[in-house]
């Protein structure tokens, strides 16, 4: 009798295990799709605000997002709709968005201007509607540039941003492919607002110095 009881309990236990696992997976997908998502910074285009090897959490409620997002493992684009946000990005805000030229990639840049405003760069200074843009502390210009030749002396525009779009630039202005090259970003492409750096990894430090590879001093809110 005892053996039979144990045999009857096994299927129920396995069934409960799969139910719990499925519930956890669905909860993770729901949170990732509507609340927060982790993003990795793969390049130096946002230095010194964000460094290569930073990992940030993005808030999806503030600016709204696409639901559902790509499948995490297969990186497959699903049919989606736009979940409205609390408000639209404003000049100075950091935004995470779907790269207009490749939907499989997410970019993070700084919003410099919104629809209806005019952007111009003169002598490495950004002007919005003719007024000098209030640059955040992390913005920098370098002598060596990876940009096309016509942008290397810090000149652009003037260019009016179409309604329903934002104009974005990387904080590492001489080494950022952004709206100066591939144009404004539709509000429909925006996915998240970066909130906090939860992990930061310095690839240049040897692996055996594991404690020093983690940039502890960078953990915290993103400005």
Reduce the DSSP state of residue 76 to 3 states and report it: coil
d(CA 219, CA 199): 6
d(CA 202, CA 205): 6
Catalytic residue among 8, 60, 104, 109: 109
- E-strand stretches of the chain: 36-40, 54-59, 64-67, 81-84, 94-98, 106-114, 118-122, 125-128, 131-132, 156-160, 165-169, 185-186, 190-200, 220-221
d(CA 116, CA 161): 5
d(CA 123, CA 155): 6
Catalytic residue among 45, 176, 179, 200: 45
Residue 109 appears among annotated catalytic residues: yes
In angstroms, the Cα distances linking 132 to 101, 115, 199 are 29, 18, 34
Task: Kindly list the catalytic residues.
Answer: 45, 109
């Amino acid at each position: 009798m005892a053996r039979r009881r144990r045999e009857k309990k096994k299927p129920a236990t396995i069934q409960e295990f799969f139910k719990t696992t499925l519930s956890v997976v669905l909860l993770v997908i729901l949170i990732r799709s509507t609340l927060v998502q982790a993003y990795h910074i793969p390049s130096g285009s946002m230095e010194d605000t964000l460094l290569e090897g930073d990992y940030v959490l993005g808030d999806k409620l503030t600016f709204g997002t696409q639901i559902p997002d790509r499948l995490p493992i297969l990186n497959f684009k699903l049919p989606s709709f736009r979940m409205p946000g609390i408000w639209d990005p404003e000049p100075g805000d950091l935004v995470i968005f779907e790269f207009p030229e490749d939907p499989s990639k997410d970019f993070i840049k700084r919003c410099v201007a919104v629809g209806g405003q005019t952007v111009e760069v003169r002598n490495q200074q950004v002007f919005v509607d003719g007024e000098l843009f209030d640059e955040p502390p992390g913005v920098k210009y370098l002598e060596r540039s990876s940009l096309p030749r016509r942008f290397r002396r810090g000149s652009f525009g003037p260019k009016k941003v179409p309604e329903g779009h934002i104009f974005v630039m990387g904080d590492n202005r001489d080494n950022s492919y952004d709206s100066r090259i591939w144009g404004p970003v539709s509000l429909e492409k925006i996915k998240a607002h970066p909130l906090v750096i939860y992990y930061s990894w310095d690839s240049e430090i040897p692996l055996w110095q594991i404690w020093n590879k983690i940039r502890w001093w960078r953990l915290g809110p993103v400005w």
